[in-house]
Structure 1
Amino acid sequence: MTGARTDPALTGLPGVTDHHLLPGDPRNTLLVAGPPPQAREIPAADADAADRAADAGDASVRGTDLAALPAAMRQLDETALLTMARVLDRTRLFRDGGRPSTDDVLAALAVAPRHAWIVRRWLRTLAAEDRLVTDPATGRHHCLEVPDRRDHARALRALDAPCRDLGYPPAMTRFFRAAAERLPLLLQDRASLQEVLFPDGETDTATGNYRDSAPSRWANHAAASLVATEARHRAEAGGLRVLEVGAGVGGTTGTVLDALGDTPVDYLFTDVSPFFLRAAKDAFTGRPGLRTALFDIQADPLPQGLEPGSQDVVLAANVLHNARHAGRCLAALRELLAPGGLLVVVESCREHYQALTSMYLLMSPAPDERAWFTDLRAGQDRVFLTAAEWARQLDAAGFDPLPVLPPDGHPLTTAAGQRVIAGRVRHHDHRPDPAAVRAALADRLPPTAVLPRIHTVDHIIRTDTPTGATR
């Protein structure tokens, strides 16, 4: 199976009108779609739930000066720009009229190949901010604007005020400074950002980012409201079944559990790392109905012990940007949901320069990873999707998207870009039957061939589809 659309083994599959073969390890994934579903408006109950979620988000940041947040974010980003320029200047390639290529810069900094994308983003970002000139004809860079060492040190010391405005605890401010100081070593993989983020195994710094900051607080309370509303709607059916994937330090978990109160719930807290499962057992000990398990969003859910249609809600806070193919991941999660089930996603939907000198180092591919993103981000040196891209991905994977929160024009949308994107499993009678597709493939392929994972979707979004393009 080559993956080409004309491969005879992939043509004429039962119920399939379009397909896309994705390379994978240890096996490929085949996305199959049938006739497109009928478009429909957001049901009134879901629109009302979104309105209540927005109210819950606003209530969580009452007393916070939201008007001050854009300036606070800009100060963090400005400090990051200074840090980028200082690190690049240490190569000495830009001095005395130097015009290095990107490869020259990467070599001089001895950047680990998996982190090269970050430095490429630095060069583009500095050029966009008029701190660097890039010759479009040659791709060479020159005229780097380098801050004085004392100005850079002063900017790092001044991070307390903007971090405080954003609701970050002092530990997060120390993390930003420590990452800036170790940045050359971090880029070379001679130091680990995990050690900076989780000093001595403590999770306070990460918790400050994912729970305590104003943008996270708003998003977590909005997401919790959506889950609690779903619990009320399903009260007659018994306890709510919730799967949280990539739960990490539990920054969203605690808020959701508080919103559920005494509601009977089977809450499965999962992450790819045993470290976070141990922390969750300590943090949420005694909570009725809470279980923990390992779960990898990149892998097939079924061999990991989860059954199709076994969940009422899937919650994914600040994790799905790690999915190597967003559409494949969303399709797999949809299949775990019961009919009419709810997916609640919290994601950063815009890039912040501060992350380019800190958190982004956690998002680079693993040293032994042969491919990175294989969806619309392929070859773009970016991690995050926009809110519109996420909504389109949910639609293609078989969800009816709810209104994205906060709504456009909200102060937090402008300042932070942290959004809540939810979708309800769409009823669609004409999706292909995966079992029938698998049986047809088994008949066409040699007995020794490894059959791909098969996920049904409502539309195919190919990697060569330009951002914002229609189907």
Structure 2
Amino acid sequence: MNIGEQLERGISVLVETPLGYDELLACTRIARRTGASLRVATHVERTPSARRFVAAARGLQAPIRGVSAACASGDLYAVLALSSRALGGVRPWRFARGAHVISGCLAGVPIVLRVGPEESFALTVDHDAGELTYTPVHGEALDPEPRADAAEMQHQLVLAQIHESIVRAPVAALPAHPDPTETHEAALRSLGAAEVESLPDALGRLEAISRRALSELLREHGARTEHGVLCNEAALLAALGAAPRHVWLIRRWLLALNRAGWPPPGREPTDPTEMRDAYAALGFPPAMAELHIAALRALPQLVSDQTTLPRLLDSSTTSALAAYQSNVFTAYLGAACDHLAERRGRVLEVRRGALDLNADFAAQGIAPQSVDLVIACNLLHNAEHVGRTLRRMRRALVPGGWLVFTDSTHENDAMLSAILFLLSPPPGAPPVGTEDRRAGTGSPFVDIDGWRAELFAAGFVPQFELPPTNSPLAAAGQRLFFAVAP
């Protein structure tokens, strides 16, 4: 006996397998005529944990900025249903299939779905106060009671229409996005004879030298730890004469030393020859090695603001950054950006000093929907609020436009004793990121998962990151992100 026949007999039905739009519409009409109850609800929706998730999402004080989810194809309807309940509805909605994900909006909120046989069920709503994530809890009891009303049926009809619009989207209509493997290989070819396999070892040597110098400085000023915890941070900061704007950096030093283990005292912390060889192996200009050597020797003066990195280099901040940004890692990322830019027409390259990341782009002459590609290299960590900056970039792009940006996703320990001094705020100003997801982390950088969430919330569809995580080029933590504006 099929569903329609049961409803004709007045038997209430609870359906766990999503019905097609036409079948659900026909069954709804029968149920209303006979007075039977019909409900379409997957097992996921009917668990206590799912109900708690929906209640928590509906009770958020901060607005929901985006939804991201992953699931197998059989759970797609459950994801849509839970998302719609968390958002309080489904309209307005639209969806499009991409090469790797399904994107669109539900109840006017950007939503991105990763659907595949190896995907585990996970649903996350992103809001100004953080993230709320739901994953199914196995073994929960279900509520089997079928119930339905006109509003519920309308809800199910729209969900069925959305489900079919996704499932039946023609493969031929998928947008032609660049292939990450092709881009990676093109960028590798641009490096020529550069030896990438040795990069992690060379970087590791610089990190070890940096940690030795930092531990010697902190020990000289009375740093004591018990079970990896600093005994008295206030006393240490006072002994160092630390400028308030550099306190965040000293805390990053302590985190790195506690994580890697404090090197034993007694060894010469700075070996100029080893540093020069390591920097050369990483493709840096000689000026970078000399800057780092000078910085290690002047750490007490840098911490107390008696000197600055540009003064040590006898140059400007721009020159210090130029020395740091010329290496094998950035050459690879730059070549990948160039490879992607070849395929687009109107390109907006966001450069330091040419465009204010923290101000409206239209007021700076960049009209909405006026460019096909936005490129930003190693800049976005300087934004006061990365989400707002991404939304400005989104508005500048045409539908289907591309965003390509590179940035550090974490600091490596070699950065701690030199170049990160340039990221300390001006005296009296708060550190960057105090208004966005970086607040409270102590880091000026957004990690990979954080960038994906920010892209989702800004209305982008993240497609891939480079280099691959298993590549030696990933050792420095610098990544390229490619996303599409649907």
TM-score (norm 1): 0.64
Q: Is the aligned partner of 1:107 residue 2:223?
A: no
Shift of 1:372: 3.8
Matched position secondary structure for 1:223: helix
Shift of 1:393: 1.6
Shift of 1:94: 4.5
Specify the alignment match of 1:281 in structure 2. Answer: none
Contact in 2 for aligned 1:171/1:204 (Cα 8 Å): no
Q: Is the aligned partner of 1:403 residue 2:436?
A: no
Matched position secondary structure for 1:422: strand
Q: Is the aligned partner of 1:180 residue 2:311?
A: no
* Counterpart amino acid of residue 146 in structure 1: P
Contact in 2 for aligned 1:400/1:425 (Cα 8 Å): yes
Matched position secondary structure for 1:243: strand
**Any idea what the Cα deviations from partners look like across 1:148-191, whole Å, max 9, x if unmatched?**
4xx123x2332111111111111111011111122222122221
CA distance in 2, matches of 1:370, 1:383: 12
* Counterpart amino acid of residue 35 in structure 1: V
Matched position secondary structure for 2:339: helix
User: Share of identical aligned residues, percent?
Assistant: 32
Specify the alignment match of 1:125 in structure 2. Answer: 256
Task: Rate the CA distance shift 1:6–1:419 in 2: closer, same or farther, 3 A.
Answer: closer
Q: Is the aligned partner of 1:63 residue 2:182?
A: no
Task: Rate the CA distance shift 1:345–1:127 in 2: closer, same or farther, 3 A.
Answer: same
Aligned mate of 1:217, from 331, 336, 355 = 331
Kindly name which structure, 1 or 2, has the bigger radius of gyration based on alpha carbons: 2
**Any idea what the Cα deviations from partners look like across 1:411-448, whole Å, max 9, x if unmatched?**
211x222211011112xxxxxxxxxxxxxxxxxxxxxx
Shift of 1:222: 0.5
Matched position secondary structure for 2:342: helix
Shift of 1:5: 6.5
Shift of 1:131: 1.0
Shift of 1:70: 0.9
Matched position secondary structure for 1:127: helix
**Any idea what the Cα deviations from partners look like across 1:111-137, whole Å, max 9, x if unmatched?**
1111101111111211112218xxxxx
CA distance in 1, matches of 2:390, 2:210: 33
Shift of 1:99: 7.1
Contact in 1 for aligned 2:191/2:328 (Cα 8 Å): yes
Specify the alignment match of 1:376 in structure 2. Answer: 437
* Counterpart amino acid of residue 393 in structure 1: E
Matched position secondary structure for 2:315: helix
Contact in 2 for aligned 1:172/1:206 (Cα 8 Å): no
* Counterpart amino acid of residue 375 in structure 2: L
CA distance in 1, matches of 2:410, 2:360: 29
Aligned mate of 1:226, from 340, 359, 366 = 340
Count of aligned residue pairs for this structure pair: 328
**Any idea what the Cα deviations from partners look like across 1:259-284, whole Å, max 9, x if unmatched?**
xxxxxxxxxxxx33xxxxxxxxxxxx
Q: Alpha carbon RMSD of aligned pairs, Å?
A: 3.0
**Any idea what the Cα deviations from partners look like across 1:225-278, whole Å, max 9, x if unmatched?**
111122xxxxxxxxx332222x2xxxxxxxxxxxxxxxxxxxxxxx33xxxxxx
Contact in 2 for aligned 1:295/1:304 (Cα 8 Å): yes
Specify the alignment match of 1:241 in structure 2. Answer: 346
CA distance in 2, matches of 1:226, 1:209: 24
Shift of 1:316: 0.8
Contact in 1 for aligned 2:112/2:456 (Cα 8 Å): no
Task: Rate the CA distance shift 1:44–1:52 in 2: closer, same or farther, 3 A.
Answer: farther
Q: Within 5 A, what are the aligned runs for 1:16-415?
A: 34-37=108-111, 39=113, 43=174, 45-48=176-179, 50-94=180-224, 100-131=231-262, 145-148=264-267, 151-153=268-270, 155-196=271-312, 199-201=314-316, 206-211=321-326, 213-230=327-344, 240-245=345-350, 247=351, 271-272=352-353, 294-370=354-430, 372-373=432-433, 374-413=435-474, 415=475
Contact in 2 for aligned 1:349/1:385 (Cα 8 Å): yes
Contact in 2 for aligned 1:79/1:156 (Cα 8 Å): no
CA distance in 2, matches of 1:207, 1:122: 24
Deviates more, 1:70-79 or 1:83-92: 83-92
Task: Rate the CA distance shift 1:339–1:196 in 2: closer, same or farther, 3 A.
Answer: farther
Contact in 1 for aligned 2:291/2:309 (Cα 8 Å): no
CA distance in 2, matches of 1:86, 1:99: 15
CA distance in 2, matches of 1:60, 1:204: 25
CA distance in 1, matches of 2:308, 2:112: 49
CA distance in 1, matches of 2:421, 2:323: 18
Question: Which runs of 5 or more residues in structure 1 are unaligned?
Answer: 9-16, 19-32, 133-144, 231-239, 248-270, 273-293, 427-471
* Counterpart amino acid of residue 74 in structure 1: G
Contact in 1 for aligned 2:110/2:456 (Cα 8 Å): no
Contact in 1 for aligned 2:409/2:479 (Cα 8 Å): yes
CA distance in 1, matches of 2:114, 2:230: 55
Matched position secondary structure for 2:307: coil
CA distance in 1, matches of 2:255, 2:317: 35
**Any idea what the Cα deviations from partners look like across 1:452-471, whole Å, max 9, x if unmatched?**
xxxxxxxxxxxxxxxxxxxx
Matched position secondary structure for 2:176: helix
Shift of 1:217: 0.8
Question: Which runs of 5 or more residues in structure 2 are unaligned?
Answer: 1-58, 64-86, 89-106, 116-170
CA distance in 2, matches of 1:7, 1:130: 40
CA distance in 2, matches of 1:118, 1:221: 31
CA distance in 1, matches of 2:362, 2:429: 23
Contact in 2 for aligned 1:215/1:412 (Cα 8 Å): yes
Shift of 1:312: 1.9
Task: Rate the CA distance shift 1:103–1:70 in 2: closer, same or farther, 3 A.
Answer: same
Contact in 1 for aligned 2:202/2:278 (Cα 8 Å): yes
TM-score (norm 2): 0.62
Task: Rate the CA distance shift 1:378–1:38 in 2: closer, same or farther, 3 A.
Answer: closer
Misfit runs of 4+, over 6 Å: none
